[in-house]
Amino acid sequence: MERMYDHVVESQRALVLANPGTKEERIYLIREVVTSSYGAWFHTDVNLSRGTPTQVIFRLKYDTEKKILMVKFFGRVIRSEPGGFAVAFEYP
């Protein structure tokens, strides 16, 4: 399958909140993430259902890795299969 969006960062870590702000909220630290301008693929054994709302938090180093920037995105799971799931970003 041909990719629609170029990868931006590979092997980035992220914190994923599934169903944020609800009683069903769960927090996952995902160690292998491939991001693009559209969303992210999370390599994990965690199985989130298609349509699950998420908040994704990236901790990025910049300025020769001396400073940390926290970046948050909201999105929904658009694909889930053995080995991981994909989230499409909706808004920052």
pTM across the whole model: 0.80
pLDDT at 59: 82
Domain boundaries, the chain: 7-91
Fold for 7-91, please state it.
Thrombin, subunit H (2.40.10)
pLDDT value, residue 50: 97
Residue 30 clears pLDDT 90, i.e. is over it: yes
Q: What is the pLDDT of residues 36-88, one digit of tens each?
A: 888 999 999 999 999 999 999 988 777 776 788 888 999 999 999 999 999 99
Q: Do the beta carbons of residue 41 and residue 88 sit within 8 Å? A: no
pLDDT value at position 8?
55
